[in-house]
Structure 1
């Protein structure tokens, strides 16, 4: 595909890159085989916190420009081995063009024997991370620095995200919620005795952003609801990050709920309300919340796991998570959650947790699901490893869904 065939669509708050359509087959070794026909009603959605974040602005573009960065090669190979049709990559520093560099120099290049993968469509947009709020948010009586940004970050866009898709993205219908104020959520958990009135007036809910990215699969639309709520740590007894994490998760629960539940929501263009009843959706991302263990508020992720519109009939699992919990021991042996469902390899505390999710709506039947966490005797274990990790401390999570025919 030549650069002349590419079309850029931009607004004041978003940037979407849209290209021609391609197809990618899934090798039998990576999961259930699927046909090459278009449109394919079996669609694999995935999320991967790939830790493609850097300390300085521009460092990621430098690393992605060469095609020789080992971590980026490992991220690309992980995606090539699992072959999702639509994948959200968290912790991918935002800069217009970074999505091109990763696709062109890594995803479309065979990595270590894996087949190259083509994502003709991508969506990337600004993140709240590193954007100065102009007020003292962390209570140190000074203004400035990563803790006083709308989302923690040393430069604008650090820890951002990107969506890659085999299927067309309806860029004109994308909704972003980067500027939605936390105070505008009814019944929010903001610690008002901690934040000044000035801080309460400006603080945004999303620590990165919330995106509704419509993907067109044949004549069907699936709304990819992408986010990366703040870790519920790095605060004090006021639990400002735990509370924010809870409400960032609640945002999607309200968004896919009833029109009454979502009436308070407004997007960056001023459009109000949530997802229309009957629309198909998949919630994806690193939500930094485990249903049983860790530091998140009780019930934080249950707002989605127990939601009447969310399909949780099949939970992604792996054998590698079980193995590592036993080998590492410690707090992992005290966890209430099943380590087969873990998606991140964290040090103590909190130990390994389930924090990354692909949650389809109930109108989508789950065919299969998994966590890319091979056991130590698998040749692909080199892609996950143990600390210091060769790729990321998170694992790619995928879910195969069947889209019903439109009647």
Structure 2
């Protein structure tokens, strides 16, 4: 009698990436126009970066949102033409450019980009999207969540008075763009909770430190969410945070305690993705490890920093990680520079 062969579990490798492609435009509909034209060098370069990195799941920042998702579908089609189809997508209207009718930055004027719920010349400018090779479940959109409702929030004030006014802060949403929990349905039956966001820059404000405090609390949101301390339940499966914190744990301005706490949270792990190319001599002038930097901002201020992160749950199996940043002399570096000042960051997981 023939003996049965042993049954072994099939493993799969999953690449999760985050990329601030800086594809925002100065008016509604312009991004769609540029994608459909097929002649925009920046868009072509961004598509090439993504198709070369080949993520299975991608959080995309700096991507203008339109109500019916025309630009996102056009971008998916263009990516498929690059032989890297990502047929599943999620996007929701962000806080960026969402009109409030109030003076939100305290300059005595209304109707300006900084008077929106999040900076934006029009509603949806510089929004976010999630692209995936695998089906997506029902997402949680935390964009409407109010800043004042975050436990432990550090609201802006001047001389002990809420900034710019108590009324303005009462309607101020926490997310400058958005916070989302997007479940990804993997072939092995796992629902991986993709936690993504794009925090405000911690500069460009006054002594009230409105942006610095908001950046801190946007990062702190995820720990409160994992704690179950918010008005909605914590995620019920494995998580991975992938997005733009806009804060370096060592260099640059900002309240660094927020990102340091997140990186040291025992429920998460930091794979410390590093540049794929050799570091140029001129890129080593700051206190932090330059190989970990994810953005090429002009020096001396702020210079290269680590601002984009992919942080899997501590019990997930990480097998590799990297920052898509070719070395000087590599022909791909011109493409990467044309696409964005930011670099695509990826982590490979084994399930």
The answer to whether the superposition gives a TM-score over 0.5 is yes
Partner-residue secondary structure (3-state), 1:51: coil
Answer yes or no: is the 8 Å Cα contact 2:19–2:60 preserved in 1. yes
Answer yes or no: is the 8 Å Cα contact 2:151–2:224 preserved in 1. no
Distance in 2 between the 1:319 and 1:225 partners? 25
Distance in 2 between the 1:109 and 1:253 partners? 39
Partner of residue 381, structure 1 = 333
How far did residue 64 of structure 1 move?
1.1
Residues 345-398 of structure 1, C-alpha deviations (whole Å, 9 max, x = no match): 01131110000111101121110000000001222112223xxxx110000000
**Unpaired segments ≥5 residues, structure 2:** 1-9
Answer yes or no: is the 8 Å Cα contact 1:342–1:353 preserved in 2. yes
Partner of residue 17, structure 2 = 46
Partner of residue 342, structure 2 = 394
Counterparts of 1:49-198 in structure 2, within 5 Å, are 49-95=20-66, 96-104=69-77, 106-110=78-82, 116-170=83-137, 173-192=138-157, 193=161, 194-198=163-167
Q: Report which structure shows greater RCO (CA 8 Å, sep ≥6).
A: 2
Partner of residue 339, structure 1 = 290
**Please, which moves more after superposition, 63-72 or 362-371?**
63-72
Q: How many residues align?
A: 335
The partner residue of 2:248 within 283, 290, 307 is: 290
Distance in 1 between the 2:174 and 2:233 partners? 16
Distance in 2 between the 1:226 and 1:381 partners? 27
Distance in 1 between the 2:223 and 2:11 partners? 28
TM-score of the superposition, structure 2-length normalised?
0.92
1:327 aligns with 2:282: yes
How far did residue 297 of structure 1 move?
0.4
Partner of residue 233, structure 2 = 273
How far did residue 319 of structure 1 move?
5.1
How far did residue 67 of structure 1 move?
2.2
Distance in 1 between the 2:219 and 2:262 partners? 7
Supply the RMSD in Å over aligned alpha carbons. 1.6
1:248 aligns with 2:218: yes
Residues 48-81 of structure 1, C-alpha deviations (whole Å, 9 max, x = no match): 0001100111110100112222111111110111
How far did residue 321 of structure 1 move?
7.0
How far did residue 322 of structure 1 move?
2.5
Distance in 1 between the 2:36 and 2:208 partners? 43
Which 4+ runs in 1 deviate beyond 4 A?
Answer: none
Answer yes or no: is the 8 Å Cα contact 1:321–1:339 preserved in 2. no
Distance 1:103 1:319, change over 3 A: closer
Partner of residue 303, structure 1 = 261
Answer yes or no: is the 8 Å Cα contact 1:321–1:341 preserved in 2. no
Distance in 2 between the 1:237 and 1:148 partners? 18
Distance in 2 between the 1:383 and 1:256 partners? 38
Residues 195-224 of structure 1, C-alpha deviations (whole Å, 9 max, x = no match): 311012100000011000000002011001
Partner of residue 220, structure 1 = 190
**Unpaired segments ≥5 residues, structure 1:** 1-38, 111-115, 267-271
TM-score of the superposition, structure 1-length normalised?
0.80
Partner-residue secondary structure (3-state), 1:251: helix
Partner-residue secondary structure (3-state), 2:14: strand
Distance in 2 between the 1:396 and 1:342 partners? 11
Partner-residue secondary structure (3-state), 2:131: strand
Partner of residue 273, structure 2 = 316
1:237 aligns with 2:192: no
Partner of residue 5, structure 2 = none
Answer yes or no: is the 8 Å Cα contact 2:273–2:347 preserved in 1. yes
Answer yes or no: is the 8 Å Cα contact 2:276–2:324 preserved in 1. no
